Amino acid sequence: MNTPLAERYAAVRHRLETAVRRAGRAPADVTLVAVSKYHPAEAVAAVAALGQRDFGENYVQEALQKQEALAGEDILWHCIGHVQSRKAKDVAGRFALIHTVDSEKLAHNLHKALWRPEDDTCPVVQDVLLQVNIGEEVQKSGIDAAETARLAETVLQLPTLRLCGLMCLPPFFDDGEAARPFFAALRKLRDDLELSLGVPLPHLSMGMSGDFEQAVEEGATIVRVGTDIFGPRPPRP
């Protein structure tokens, strides 16, 4: 059925495929995460029926409610919002990828939530990204670029966590070209970390509705798109 939601989703897929081709990359190189913040589980199910598998949620409680409501769907859930350290136990092991690890305390609390001290095992390994405050904005979460290596070394020492790369929320611009330098800076930071740490960091989560084409051209492997798929966000419940 050709609904407005289906039309918006198709338009985003077309934009993404065009950007990937223009960058000389393969379609499999970039994952689209549909950000369903504030939108009902029914809307998520409708987009999943169109073939979308990866969905991002900003708020832990909202995410857990949708996971329960859509337990029968083939969905990979991404935690893309700030996680308070005391909430680590609520997210650890419940998401395919946590994009927003930004402190040693959060990393250690995620580890504690997954580790079984009685037999020194970790039945679940949680994939994580480090959130970098690439624009040095005081109002945003994320670790300073200069501190990223230290946090990465901490995460690499925790057997329950698998460090997969970096994530950023650059300063908001209507013009995606203005965001491009921040995407390039995150890519360089990732590349430098791979060299200094000697480990692969395959993922760069960067780019949203207004700038994901530029993010793809600068090396994004994950883009997070909400409004251009689901439409304007309803008020917070």
The single-letter code of the amino acid at 28 is A
Residues 166, 189 contacting (CB under 8 angstroms): yes
**DSSP assignment letter at 81:** S
Q: Are 215 and 182 in contact (CB under 8 A)?
A: no
- pTM confidence score: 0.95
pLDDT tens, position by position, 208-226: 999 999 999 999 999 999 9
Residue partners of 32: CB distance under 8 A and separation at least 6: 12, 13, 16, 52, 54, 223, 225
Tokens standing for 99? 């994009």
- The pLDDT of residue 190 is 98
pLDDT category of residue 18 using cuts at 50, 70 and 90: very high
The per-residue pLDDT for 237 is: 66
| Tens digit of each residue's pLDDT (9 = 90 or more) over 102-161 | 999 999 999 999 998 777 667 789 999 999 999 888 788 899 999 999 999 999 999 999
How confident is the model at residue 57, as a pLDDT?
A: 97
Report residue 235's pLDDT band, with 50, 70 and 90 as the boundaries.
Answer: confident
The predicted structure's pLDDT at residue 139:
82
DSSP state of 67: H
Residue 90 bridge partners (DSSP): none
Summarize pLDDT for 164-181 with one digit per residue, the tens: 999 999 987 667 899 999
Q: What does the pLDDT average to over 62-70?
A: 96
Three-point CA angle 194, 197, 200, nearest 5° = 40
Q: Which secondary-structure segment (H or E) carries 79?
A: strand 76-79
Q: What is the dihedral of CA 36, 38, 44, 46, to 10 degrees?
A: -120
Confidence at residue 199, expressed as pLDDT on a 0 to 100 scale: 97
The more confident residue out of 14 and 237 is: 14
Q: How many CB atoms lie within 10 A of CB 208?
A: 20
CA distance 3 to 6: 5
What are the structure tokens assigned to 152, written together?
Answer: 């990465």
All domains of the chain in start order, with CATH: 4-230 (3.20.20.10)
- Cα–Cα distances in angstroms (integers) from residue 93 to residues 75, 122, 161, 173, 193, in the given order: 15, 11, 10, 34, 25
Q: Average pLDDT over the chain, rounded to whole?
A: 94
Q: How far apart are CA 133 and CA 167, in angstroms?
A: 9
Kindly report, residue by residue over 20-60, the tens digit of the pLDDT.
999 999 999 999 999 999 999 999 999 999 999 999 999 99
Number of neighbours of residue 61 by Cβ within 10 angstroms:
11
Structure tokens at 55: 């969905």
Residue recorded with tokens 């402190």:
103
Cβ within 8 Å of residue 40, ≥6 positions away: none
Residue 200: strand, helix, or coil: coil
